[in-house]
A and B are shown apart, each in its own frame.
Chain A
């Protein structure tokens, strides 16, 4: 109470004084001047802080005033700054104003003065300037100390791209000072003899630890410098956003701007301010902050996020209603209940977001590769019935919620997995059969395709096969076959059965698949047609069947040639007459056979058509083994009957026969073709694939040919193989063979005969010693004049002469020089016995032959020539004949040593020679003692011109 009364008193006094003042002012204008001006320095920020007061104000008086402030540099006349500062002034209130200098304050002397004026509508008459205060001088240089050099500003912190002024203050006038920025010399302006100023424009960020700027004197080792800390531009926070999960706590997040680039000097701070509540919080984290919402606070919030560092302050604002920024919590207590084969119920709870708010919940159901999405409105408890589910299927259901009235964000999902119950299989199994007749029995192989997951509706436990004998309808047979078997083989006594196949799971039985087997296996002969396959499969079509057909089945093997051919089938409706059979198992070059069956109303399949084809034809894999026959001069025949055209990877359309010959032109029926090795040959095209022989005609006799046969499909020919060489025979050779062969045969026959009868022949034709009696000469003689004349008898021949040759050395003479020397002959006189015969026994020698025989130093028969030498004299036998020599040879030594007196024994062919063949000499004498055997023949006297014949000295003539 006392306080209140004191305040009241003061107020009254102030009012009184104001009235007094107004009356004074009205009477005499009073200047209100700034007084007590003080100037201080903040070196770190390069600021001048001014403070002053206005004394002449009345108590409690508040006036709007404007103060004009002048700042001059170096000298007072150099005013660098004038500013009018308006403020409300009270009596004795200390007024403050600051000014930041671009130039470091240490670089120059600054002076400050000011004046004031009232700028108040209440007292318009006082609107004039007061007097200037005196200049207040600020001189930092004087207090610097005695160092020779200073550089300013110290440790300045600036943003990248700003302009900075640097100066040095030197105490020495003589020294030249040079200054460098990161080693690069700077050029400045001299402010006064001791001070130099450098203006750096658009300073770059170099490194986090600052930029060194230093100055040094020319003389001495003085280095002074500063570190200029250049930061990157401080950016404002981005993506500022707030949300709540429970309406009690707000979580605000933002992306801070890029790092200022300085490690310690520029720490950033983030402050969150809410203007309605006036609350403020300093955020501990760089990118998010939590804000507690007071329980009774208003829904509207106006947030200001202020990011601040030493140099800059950045703010972002956000105005929002709290309920519009609800990010609900994930649903909880989520259950899937009442799961049947097709339905399930999902229940969940949500955290309330206010008393009247509704949540929108989204349910997603994943199953069988599908997603079903549904939305439900929920207050607290959520419930959703999931219908049309597939039996025996795994599902995943998940739920999330958001504010239904003001959507902001979905909550996280809460997920549950469940599996629906099984149901009876929905479809009959797809069944097909293969019927064989084995030893009068019907062997039926049943095949069925496993039901798909959707059809099976659970795990198939077994397949039931019911056999009903159609002839005896009451007879049923049941087989139960567990999976994974997809078929069975049945041996039936006869082939008239109806077979029903069902699939069963734990819940029930599928519809039955019915197939009938008749006595006729339905494998009647049907013409096979060719189909052309494509990459997409085989397009098969068939003629529609008249009458009742309940459907068609196309059957094929995916692995033809394999005993387990992997039988496939395709069921088609009764109105279908074409289908495309495609399979990933189809391979190029493999022949696939398709059978198309019609299904009768009795469910009996019967074969309609057969198709065969390749999904992609290839060139033949191998060439036939070609046999050549009937080779003549003009033709030959080729055949390849063993070639398996069916097993080729394409339909063989025909054959190509390549024929190489030296002839430039191709024969009729062929055309020129170039082979892969660029050789040219003639090509015969055999269009008929069934033709397996070919006659190559019109060839040249005795010519060389090469041929090569290859099949071709629609794609091309078989592999290039080796050519077979053939040479046609000569035209006349067969004639020659007909002549020469018998001739050779005849000659051979004669030769064999001759050989067998050689003795006889020899005797007949050329005896060793001709029998004069058998000689033709004899007959000749006989026929002529002297019938008395007979052949000399051997015993009539008496050796009759021995010749002693006294030969002179060097008296060798040629045959032609016969006359000058006369050999000394011992003439042998004929004995009495020699006259006993019809004529004297005459021996003579053929010189001509003898010489040759002598030259060859061999002995031989000397044919007798009827010519006698004129000087031949009749040799008479001597009594001193060498008796020691018993042999009947005429010895003639090849060489007689000179000066020796040789005794040459010359014997007349004795009688054993004549006629007695057994005494023929079989051992000729040793070559060293080569004796010359002289055939002697008794010649009738009438034939020899001289009546006496002398045995010549051989040495005389031969040596």
Chain B
């Protein structure tokens, strides 16, 4: 069953969602919501990265700073070959994104804590990091809804950070925050593409 629903009805359906568990739901609606959220997130990712770098001092705050080889083992990179990406099935696609945003929410929490320690006098940065984390959590929820709608199994929540996070030096924490905010942007970009693809596949 495919309905063309207006936005208020859509919201109503969302509200009624807990009451109508088990009822078959169209994937188009959560896909659309997730897509909208991802688009909204995409608009703010570069601002977050720039704000973050600005507060870290040189070399991070130097114009044109980029260190693509800096990676975090705990955070899956968003970069993937187009062929591989295109060949992913819905379950894999959503699974990758789900895993990445789960890791990102945890990492953004860590980076927020780090920055509260390193840059306590920068409420703007702390607010932006907090907002990014909440959005990532929102997108996670949306993706779970899609997976439910598509009948896919939802992967369990894992602790992606492990125990290595606390021994890092100040500079390492700055680097870590850079990688997290950068990857948050990359994963958001990828999520927009993922959801666009799904949207095309499951039109409302």
Which A residues form the contact surface with B (CB < 8 A)? 151, 154-155, 180, 182-183, 207-212, 214, 216, 220-227, 229, 263-264
Contacts and interface: CB of A to CB of B under 8 A. Distances in A.
A222 B69 contact: yes
Q: A-B pairs with the 5 shortest C-beta distances?
A: A221-B69, A227-B170, A154-B169, A183-B58, A225-B171
A180 B174 CA distance: 16
Q: Which of A210, A212, A222 has most chain B Cβ within 10 Å?
A: A212
Contacts of A155: 169-171
A209 B69 CA distance: 25
Given A223-B70, A226-B171, A209 B118 contact: yes
Contacts of B119: 209
A212 B171 contact: yes
A227 B171 contact: yes
Contacts of A214: 58-59, 171
Contacts of A208: 121
Contact of B175 (A211, A220, A223): A223
Contact of A226 (B62, B67, B170): B170
A264 B115 CA distance: 12
B170 A264 contact: no
23 contacts: A151-B171, A154-B169, A154-B170, A180-B58, A183-B59, A183-B62, A209-B119, A212-B58, A212-B59, A212-B174, A214-B171, A220-B69, A221-B69, A224-B171, A225-B59, A225-B171, A226-B169, A226-B170, A226-B171, A227-B118, A227-B170, A227-B171, A227-B174
Contacts of A229: 170
Given A226-B169, A263-B120, A182 B58 contact: yes
B57 interface: yes
A222 B175 CA distance: 11
A58 B119 CA distance: 58
Contacts of A263: 120-121
A223 B60 CA distance: 11
A212 B169 CA distance: 12
Nearest to A151: B171
A230 to B, nearest CB: 12
Nearest to B69: A221
Contacts of B158: none
Contacts of B170: 154-155, 210, 226-227, 229
Mostly, the B contact residues are loop
Give the size range of B's interface with the partner.
Answer: 20 to 34
B36 interface: no
Contacts of B59: 180, 183, 212, 214, 216, 223, 225
Interface in B28-68: 55-60, 62, 67-68
A465 B36 CA distance: 102
B70 A210 contact: no
A227 B69 contact: no
Nearest to A214: B59
B117 interface: yes
Nearest to B60: A212
A221 B57 contact: no
A264 B169 contact: no
A210 B117 contact: no
Contacts of A211: 57
Contact of B57 (A207, A220, A224, A264): A207
B169 A227 contact: yes
A310 to B, nearest CB: 15
Nearest to A225: B171
Contacts of A216: 59
A155 B175 CA distance: 14
B57 A210 contact: yes
Interface centre among B56, B60, B118, B169 (most CB of A within 10 A): B169
Contact of A212 (B56, B70, B117, B121): B56
A221 B120 contact: no
A550 B20 CA distance: 120
A209 B57 CA distance: 9
Contacts of A209: 55, 57, 118-119, 121
A214 B56 CA distance: 12
Interface string B154-165: 000000000000
A936 B94 CA distance: 158
Interface string B68-87: 11100000000000000000
Interface in B110-137: 117-121
A145 B57 CA distance: 27
A242 B1 CA distance: 84
A264 B118 CA distance: 8
A799 to B, nearest CB: 142
A864 to B, nearest CB: 138
A227 B117 CA distance: 13
Contact of A221 (B67, B171, B174): B67
A182 B57 contact: yes
B202 to A, nearest CB: 39
A633 to B, nearest CB: 104
A205 to B, nearest CB: 14
A211 B57 CA distance: 8
B36 to A, nearest CB: 35
Contacts of A210: 57, 118, 170
A642 to B, nearest CB: 89
Contacts of B171: 151, 154-155, 212, 214, 224-227
Contacts of A226: 169-171
A225 B173 CA distance: 11
Nearest to B175: A223
